[in-house]
Structure 1
């Protein structure tokens, strides 16, 4: 009985989807008149300025269908249009030559047909569901066999709309090239920032200790014959200086690729970060350590994401608890870091101005490192918390 009611509810939802699709078809009928009117005005040259506005109207109508389809399928339908900017001539040229507009016109023509036909088919299927199968019979336990077909009709409508409204391969390729151009620029910027950091660390840390070490060894050599006690003291100081230089060099090496990743793998390295963060951190690897390891670049990016976010949480969140989760999937590695702090993190552009998550170059560097691997970063931080940073990285296991 519960299954029957579920089927009926799903059929009602599908019917509503088909009904709104028929409404979009009616709008497409109106759009036909707009297109014809615009074509006549454009042919007279004087009314050419109407063409870009008509194209924008068509794009809004196609956008409505994209949102309807996404709401039904749960998958967004991307769009790709040429911007209608510049002089009137440039706007008209862009409107006429835009592949996205051409696909919208094809969809509008097809929607005139299948939007109404599928609604009529659903209405026909409701008749046996009501009269032959019967609501009342169905509620008593009899399955209304016609109703699942209505849901399939709604699926068909969504599939047709998605196929027709997806950007053309050429447009998707252009968008991908643009995205890769931005990603490459971010990767170059991230690499430059990393090199400057290494240079600064070497100059201010290891190099300063090595210079002091050289000076003390020189002084010890001069004092060796005349004042062995002083020479011994200088050698002891030189040994301390050498150990400090080694410590600084290890710090620099850890910043390039932490040795703990090589020794323990990502899961073990994350647990070590959690133990040394100063917070009460729960680590859930979700079996991420099982099976083959991720490439070194992916592991390093994931490690630095966790390190940066835990450091920021300890400094800025005002909370003493955090949670780190790792998940692996087909071709993906997913990292989530959550703290129970004050929240209020906001992002603007490529950088971030954050409350709990911290701001400045740390977040920017993390985003660039992830973008260089074609990954994504999502920050959710309502006022009052919690702050959740989710990172998804492509990964060939």
Structure 2
């Protein structure tokens, strides 16, 4: 009974603040009407963008209230009110997000007050009836939970009215994909430059030296066979070094171990060679069909880069890698018990990880407080 009363009290406070927001909406709608008249009269046009900004702030307050009650964030999508006065007025008038805020303001004025009155009216019968039933063989309350349902209804209506319009979500998605494409192009260019540098400084240099030694051995073959034999031995060593460099370049493009062992086996190999005590939990990632090659490669490089950073910079001795399946997703989590404080702008490789993951429309979450631990979680879309 006490728990039910506390929950009903919390719901009533939520509805009371909702009624307060409704009163603010009443004032806001009146202010907007005055602003519209002034705008039509021209001399008050500069007030309209500021009024729309005020409405956005009020809607933002309701989004936070609804998210705090339901536990589900309510995103927002607005066109920025920037530029000349004419451009700001045009945006204020035509922005779909502001139009939805206006519709919500009118609705909140109604249901915000109605739900509060319903909750206040329900309190008396709820205490009497529920007190009777709880005193009778300790049965559960039947009316007090209804007050919480009223708060659920209010938060649900606010969420429905304040969610971005399909057009706004589409525009936001297009903008996100534009940024992602730019990052993917930048990452691809950086990868090509790295491969070119590795080939030029590594394999190509060894092949040039190999060609020179073969030429010298050919010239010395008739006059000094011992020198020619020594040069051929050096040429063989040079050829082996070139092959090693080429294998290194190939591993940087798509590690053969992924093809041979799969993602779980490749991650275990990374853990064994990282220099840290790494615990690997596959979480069923080995069961069933494999992920696409591009997804496996991205996951492999995420783990490789993260473990390398941990070994170099964190001062940790232990780390843990978790792989997990989800419907349409591959999840990777890497945790180290180091000093924390990892930042993208400090050459920690996080920017490269984020770009590689964004190219596949995945997400990266980094938690690295000072003193540790550092946890990097990645989700990649995956058609199993």
1:372 aligns with 2:364: no
Residue 353, structure 1, aligned to residue 345, structure 2: yes
User: SS at the partner of 1:319?
Assistant: coil
- Tell me, in whole angstroms, the C-alpha distance in 2 between the residues paired with 1:364 and 1:5: 51
Establish whether residue 390 from structure 1 lines up as the match of residue 377 from structure 2: yes
Equivalent in the alignment of 1:159: 156
Measured against aligned partners, the alpha-carbon deviations of 1:55-82 in whole angstroms (never above 9, x if no partner) come to 1110000000101111112111111111
Hey, what's the Cα distance between the residues in 1 that align with 2:158 and 2:136? Answer: 34
Residues 130-149 of structure 1 mapped to structure 2, 5 A cutoff: 130-134=127-131, 137=134, 141-149=138-146
Provide the secondary structure at the position in 2 that maps to 1:384.
coil
**Map of 1:285-300 to 2, 5 A cutoff?**
285-300=282-297
1:363 CA displacement: 2.5
1:197 to 194, 197, 202: 194
Partner of 2:71: 74
Q: Is the 8 A contact 1:129 1:135 kept in 2?
A: no
After superposition, the C-alpha distances for 1:75-105 in whole angstroms (9 at most, x for unaligned) are: 1111111111112111111111111110000
Q: Which moved more, 1:242-251 or 1:140-149?
A: 140-149
CA distance in 1, matches of 2:135, 2:327: 41
- Residue of 252, 255, 261 corresponding to 2:252: 255
Instruction: Give the Å deviation of 1:139.
Output: 9.6
Q: In the TM superposition, what is the alpha-carbon distance from 1:122 to its structure 2 partner? A: 2.0
Task: Note closer, same or farther for the CA distance 1:345–1:70 as it changes in structure 2 (3 Å cut).
Answer: same
Looking at structure 1, the residues matched to 204 and 154 of structure 2 have their Cα atoms a distance apart, in angstroms, of: 68
Partner SS, residue 287 of structure 1: coil
Against the structure 1 CA distance between its residues 140 and 50, is the aligned structure 2 distance closer, same or farther, given a 3 Å change threshold?
A: farther
Moved more, 203-212 or 377-386: 377-386
For normalisation by structure 1, the TM-score amounts to: 0.93
Q: Distance in 2 between matches of 1:174 and 1:189?
A: 23
Q: Could you give the per-residue CA deviations for residues 127-152 of structure 1, whole angstroms, max 9, x where no partner exists?
A: 22211221783697221111222222
Cα shift at 1:125: 2.7
Length, aligned pairs only: 384
Deviations 1:238-258 (A, max 9, x none): 111111111111100000011
CA contact (8 A) 2:133 2:141 kept: no
1:315 to 299, 312, 315: 312
Deviation at 1:345? 2.1
User: Quick one: distance in 2 between partners of 1:139 and 1:93?
Assistant: 65
Corresponding residue SS for 1:226: coil
Range with bigger deviation, 127-136 or 315-324: 127-136
- Equivalent residue of 2:98, what SS? helix
Alpha-carbon offset, residue 396 of structure 1: 1.5
How far apart in 2 are the matches of 1:70 and 1:139? 37
CA distance in 1, matches of 2:132, 2:35: 49
Taking only aligned residues, the RMSD between alpha carbons, in angstroms, comes to: 1.7
SS at match of 1:46: coil
Q: Distance in 2 between matches of 1:139 and 1:10?
A: 21
Could you list the per-position Cα deviations for residues 256-279 of structure 1 after superposition, in whole angstroms to 9, with x for gaps in the alignment?
011111111111111111110011
C-alpha displacement at 1:375, in angstroms? 1.2
- SS of the equivalent of 2:365 reads strand
Structure-1 separation of matches of 2:286 and 2:11? 43
- Alpha-carbon contact 2:366-2:375 (below 8 Å) kept: yes
Aligned with 2:313: secondary structure?
Answer: helix
Q: Which runs of 5+ in 1 are unaligned?
A: 347-351
Question: What's the TM-score, normalizing by structure 2?
Answer: 0.96
Deviates more, 1:221-230 or 1:62-71: 221-230
Q: Secondary structure at the match of 1:225?
A: coil
Secondary structure of 1:283's aligned partner: strand
